[in-house]
Amino acid sequence: MIAPEDGPRIMLDKAQTPYFVPCLLAVAPYVSKTAKRYPPGAVGKQRSAKHVTESPWFPIDFDGISSEDKDAILAGLDDTVYCAFSTFRHGEIAGKVRMRVLLFMDRALGPAEWEAAWHVINEHVLDSKADPATSKMHQAAAVWAAHPDRVSQCFRHVGRGDLLSADELLKLTPNPTVRQAPFIPKLATPGAQYARYKEALQWLDAGDYQTWRSTLMSLRASVEIGELNDEEARELWLSWSATAPMDRQTRNDQSQYAPDAMWDQRTTLTTRAQILVAALFKRARDEAERYVRLELPRNLSPRAVQAATYLRRFHPSTFEKLRSAV
């Protein structure tokens, strides 16, 4: 669909060319100028950093590189799966190559890790010659197209090697301020309450500092009242903390922000343990309910269906209220 074998689309106007992003877009509240065109709180799909999901592939642009640079870049991709093709303005300036390269990983990454992997690829594979604008997942890119006057200069190259390893790319991420991820032990058979807490945590934002701190207190409280043992609560805390965006983990080398160090501090609870635990489940319930209400009465997205399923299982009275509303 993006760069078919039968050649580029012939377009007089670049603006009329179909564009794409390398991921599905989530249904979420509209932002920026788009939000002003809808009632407050309206939701939908929009090309924005708030609506991107995850992707296993990259559209990477090169603007105005030399023919020698192009040959070197493609030679460096010989062992990988790729598709390289000329962009709309290729041929405007003699000797200058405008090219888009599609590269593919073995699994999808969320926006923060995807961007980190993009920079690793640019530095280690592409000689830092890629257009930095394409390091954002929500950046739009055009399909293979050409002006009629420049069709003869178009090109398309395909590589049929191996997929890039997402894990190996992330190991090369330059982030010296991030401490090594804490060891998360593999649990023996979890207790009866473990699944309940794990399901609740998926609705809480580990990137929000206040939520992060209050969740720490709630998980400690769960140990105090005997619903989780220390091993279970620590595993949940570390795993959930690791879901925070990468830019929110950049200070994890400091003891006041490192999840494992925070757990080991054993701060005395100043609020009754039962209240702290109840607060965790209330926050999870409210967030799951918000997902569902944002989309009612339309067909629910997969995430909203997941939220409704969570409510039906763990908060049946809230689920019944929503069903009655529908």
Residue 20, CA distances (Å) to 89, 111, 232 in order: 17, 16, 43
Predicted model pTM? 0.55
Query: Which pLDDT score is estimated for 177?
Result: 35
**pLDDT score, position 135:** 92
Where are the chain's structural domains?
9-171, 194-325
User: What burial class does residue 151 get, using C-beta atoms within 10 Å of its C-beta: 0-12 exposed, 13-18 middle, 19+ buried?
Assistant: middle
Would you give per-residue pLDDT tens digits along the chain (326 residues)? Answer: 999 999 999 999 988 999 999 999 988 888 888 888 888 878 889 999 888 999 999 999 999 899 999 999 999 998 899 999 999 999 888 889 999 999 999 999 998 899 999 999 999 999 899 999 899 999 999 999 999 999 999 999 999 999 999 999 998 886 533 334 444 444 455 677 888 999 999 999 988 889 999 999 999 999 999 999 988 899 899 889 888 887 666 665 555 568 888 887 767 777 898 999 999 999 999 999 998 888 887 777 888 889 999 999 999 999 998 888 77
Angle of CA points 201, 179, 246, to nearest 5°: 50
Q: Distances in Å between the alpha carbon of 289 and those of 195, 307, 326?
A: 19, 7, 13
d(CA 161, CA 233): 43
| 241: CB partners within 8 A, 6+ apart | 206, 212, 259
Rg of the Cα atoms in the chain:
24
Give the span between the Cα atoms of 223 and 197, in whole angstroms. 12
17 within 8 A of 10, measured Cβ to Cβ: no
Q: For residue 133, with 0-12 CB atoms within 10 Å meaning exposed, 13-18 middle and 19 or more buried, which class applies?
A: exposed
d(C-alpha 232, C-alpha 104), whole Å: 36
Cα 48 from Cα 70, distance rounded (Å): 30
Q: Which two tokens stand for residue 141?
A: 């890119």
DSSP string, 253-279: TSTTT-HHHHHHT-PPP-S-HHHHHHH
Mapped onto helix, strand or coil, the DSSP state of residue 236 is helix
Place of tokens 């961007």: 115
Query: How many Å apart are CA 226 and CA 277, to the nearest integer?
Result: 11
Beta strands at 81-86 and 55-66: parallel, antiparallel or unpaired: unpaired
Residues 5 and 13: their CA atoms lie apart, in Å, by: 22
Per residue, the 3-state secondary structure of 295-313, as one string, reads HCCCCCCHHHHHHHHHHHH
